[in-house]
Each structure stands twice: as structure tokens, then as C-alpha cells.
Amino acid sequence: MTALTHWNPLKSGIGFNPTIGFDDMFRGLATRPLWRELDAAPDMRIDVTEDDKAFHVKAEVPGVDKDAIEVSADGNQVTISAEVKRESKPGNEEGQTELCSERHYGKVCRSFTLPGDFDSAKVDAHYEVGVLALSLPKKADGGTRKIKVG
């Protein structure tokens, strides 16, 4: 039986070893075991947009309980962290053997810096269907203005 797996060469942290040569890096690509790719923590994908009044962030955090998500702000830096706990360890149930486990269990964290300051006291956060939506109102004094040079 053959199985095709999706391989992303740009994904950070998967199978990179700076001590091997360029040819050796691609030599075992077709026969690479699937579980080597699962060692890396998953990425938290985000979309960031802005309008005149606020920055808007949408972060994918599927399978996480709403109470296990933490959002913190320091200046114009935002940090989102979440934790997924495993219900039981594999093989605990009698007669069952785990064949494949691709779901990530543990903590995932993402920090990013916004191009301007926001009012952290007025942040609005909603979590629905695996997507965390943040609305970060811009500070009133953070607007740009044209200055006439005399």
C-alpha cells in the first residue's frame, strides 16, 4: 500500500539540518516516514487587516476550548497562545493500537507586531468555529497628519 503525503518545503522546522549537504537534504524525500514531519508544532495562521478605526485579526485555532485561549498585548505587540489537551493516551483502551496520530496536542503560540498602537482596554475578542477574531481599536492620537513645510 502506498500513501501520498503533502510536503511543504517552506514549512519552518521540518527536517532541516544545517550540517548535511544540499544533495543529501533531498536524497530520502520519497521514503521519508510521515511521523518525522509530525515532530514540528503546527502553525497558527493569521489574517491581519486594518481600517480607519481598528486593526482586525483572525487566527485559526481549531479544536481548542475557548477557555484555553490567552491573548495578551504589550504596546503594539499581540501574543495569542492556546493549548489542546489529549483526552487519553494511545493504546489505553483494551484491544486498540494507534496506527496514526496527526492531531497536535500541546501548546501553540504566535506573537506579532502591529504597525501602530491600539487601545488594549477596548479590545473585542470572539471565538467561533475554530477562528479567533480580535478587533483592536486604534488609539486616537495615533493618526497621521500632513505637515506643511514653510
CATH of the domain at 110: 2.60.40.790
Q: Give the model's confidence band at 84: pLDDT under 50 very low, under 70 low, under 90 confident, else very high.
A: confident
Which DSSP category does 33 fall into?
-
Order of strands, edge to edge, in the sheet holding 54-60?
Answer: 46-50, 54-60, 131-137, 124-128
pLDDT of residue 77: 92
8, part of any domain: no
Sign of CA dihedral 115, 52, 54, 144: positive
Q: Which grid coordinates belong to 31?
A: 521514503
- Average model confidence (pLDDT) for the chain? 76
Residue 130 lies in a domain: yes
In a domain, 36, yes or no: no
Determine the average pLDDT of the residues in 77-95: 77
The three cell numbers locating residue 92: 489505553
pLDDT of residue 74: 86
Comparing CA positions, the residue from 11, 114, 36 lying closest to residue 123 is 114
Instruction: Judge whether 54 lies within some domain.
Output: yes
Q: Residue 112: is its pLDDT beyond 90?
A: yes
pLDDT > 70 in the chain, percent: 61
| Residue 64 covered by a domain | yes
In this prediction, residue 50 carries a pLDDT of: 95
Helices (H), the chain: 22-27, 34-37
User: Could you list the residue range(s) of the whole structural domain that residue 58 is in?
Assistant: 42-89+103-140
Residue 70 pLDDT grade (very low, low, confident, very high; cuts 50, 70, 90)? very high
Structural domain count, the chain: 1
pTM for the model: 0.62
Reading the block at residue 140, the C-alpha cell is 486616537
